[in-house]
Amino acid sequence: MSISEIDLVRVPGLAPSGPQSPQSPQSPVSPVSPESPRSPESPRSEASAEPLTMRALREGGLRLKDRIIRGRPEAVERQHRLGKRTARERLESLLDENSFVEIEMYRRGTAPGRPYTDGVVAGSGTVYGRRVFVYAQDFTIAGGSLGAAHAAKIHKVMDLALATGCPIVALNDSGGARIQEGAMALDGYGGIFRRQVEASGVIPQISIVLGPCAGGAAYSPALADFTFMVRGTAQMYLTGPDVVESVTGERVTHAELGGADVHAERSGVASFVYDDEEGCLEDVRFLLSLLPGNNLEPAPVVPVAEEDDLRPALAEIVPVEASRPYDMREVIAEIVDDGEYLEVHERWAPNVLCGFGRLHGEVVGVVGNQPMVLAGVLDSTASQKAARFVRFCDSFGIPLVTLVDVPGFLPGTEQEHGGGIRHGAKLLYAYCEATVPRVQVIIRKAYGGAYIVMDSRSIGCDLSLAWPTNQVAVMGADAAVNVVHRRELAAAADPDGLRAELVARYTEELMHPYYAAERGLVDEVIDPGHTRAAVARGLAMLRGKRARAVARRHGNVPL
């Protein structure tokens, strides 16, 4: 068979070379969009059966590729009118320039007329020169809905990320499962979820919600390590407003049900929230610059200019009086390298702070009580937030620095009946299980069970430092005196005077700055201004820490 007899011209966009014009009736090619390609089974006309050239093949392939990349102009324009970028525009912002390598661009479903890419752009690129794998759902094609071919592309890119030990970033903008494909669409989602669980703790997983993400699809961001959302366009829920109204009678908007602010403040699903896609994608890049590629690599270290570790401002930030609040963020800013801090879940459970920073160029995870909110007490949501963060840091070998100023657990029937004990146990479990270097800094109050949970020496902290303002005790002096000396106070002629005397004595004997250090619960009482230097020395000392693994399948976290 000669080459002229081989039916190669059936590929859409492929035109033979020759003098005829594109409008010639003998031409086998007419302009087609990626949405409605010529059927591969269409027969060749006898008039077009002439020899092909490599040039014609290449030019036809380039035209087809260009049409796929450009997309349908009206669909792209509609996406822009909604205030959203296209999938490819988003990847251009996320990845280093000219670093994206796309896979399976020509993949499409089996039904006639199905578009190329099948509504998802997948591949790999770099962020600050480091390899990541990505997929971006394309809302301009079938609303980004997920079918079998769409899911297969996502499965492949996830498998490649796990095989190569690189982070995976998902850009979600989809109408959900493709109803026309029925159970195969659901099977595709199941394959994504299973791969996410397999990759958990092995490679970082980041989910970015830039449009609708409804139904079963919402579990993918929930399984990711970090979820980013953009106000106004991102929506995430299991059942939409129409279903909610039909079942419960409750009327609610998309934003009220599953908007970015709802998930940032109430559900805790959104780790980060932004006003626009540009700021969102820039912080995704920043987060990736702080994380290792996988659980066997160290987090990236950056060279830093010589900095003075003496920070006298720390002594001015924190009041000596235990009841006066201050902003723990100001303390963190003085400890970490300048500008190298990214807070996680800033608006959810704000009574505890969690974030990544750098200290002498090395990445650390920081957990700290926030006296500005609920006096820094631990409650159910704060415990869950901190536990998840601690477990992530431990999974990827990121040292932990815990800043303690906690008066206890939040009291009340709502907390007790809502599982406060169980949720607090999650944080306790996370710290006990952690094998990374762990440095505790007791700044002021460290009372009761909350002190134990905040990475105390008793649950495995490697190095405990304390400021001269530290108070390690079962409870505050006032409360302790009221319990221990209640009979004496009840019988006293001057109960207020006696109480003041007993409080002073209790504080002097059991809560002085060196009480915990004298009993081996604190390694060193440090000057506040030397905190940065002391933490850096401690982490340097612990850099070679190795933990012995216990032979078991896995522990049973109190979920």
Residues belonging to the active site: 215-216, 449-450
Tell me how far apart the alpha carbons of residues 284 and 555 are, in angstroms, rounded to a whole number.
31
Strand partners, 364: 357
Tokens linked to 296: 């066997």
Tell me how far apart the alpha carbons of residues 372 and 551 are, in angstroms, rounded to a whole number.
43
Task: Mark residue 141 as left, alpha or beta (left: phi above 0; alpha: psi -120 to 50; beta: remaining).
Answer: beta
Tell me how far apart the alpha carbons of residues 300 and 320 are, in angstroms, rounded to a whole number.
37
Tokens linked to 323: 């009841």
Q: Which residues, 6+ apart, have CB-to-CB distance to 501 below 8 Å?
A: none
Expressed in angstroms, the distance from the first to the final Cα of the chain is: 67
DSSP string, 194-239: HHHHHHTTTS-EEEEE-SEEEGGGGHHHHHSSEEEEETTT-EEESS
CA atoms within 13 A on the CB side of 306: 0
Question: Residue 105 class from Cβ within 10 Å (0-12 exposed, 13-18 middle, 19+ buried)?
Answer: middle
Closest of 550, 223, 556 to residue 422, by C-alpha: 556
DSSP string, 371-433: TTTGGG-B-HHHHHHHHHHHHHHHHTT--EEEEEEE--BPPSHHHHHTTHHHHHHHHHHHHHH
Closest of 263, 151, 148 to residue 209, by C-alpha: 263
- Cβ pair 231, 274 in contact under 8 A: yes
Q: Rounded to 5 degrees, what angle do the CA atoms 112, 114, 118 make?
A: 150
Tell me how far apart the alpha carbons of residues 535 and 354 are, in angstroms, rounded to a whole number.
17
Using CA atoms in the order 544, 545, 546, 547, what is the torsion angle rounded to 10 degrees? -170
Q: Which residues, 6+ apart, have CB-to-CB distance to 425 below 8 Å?
A: 558
- Cβ pair 133, 114 in contact under 8 A: no
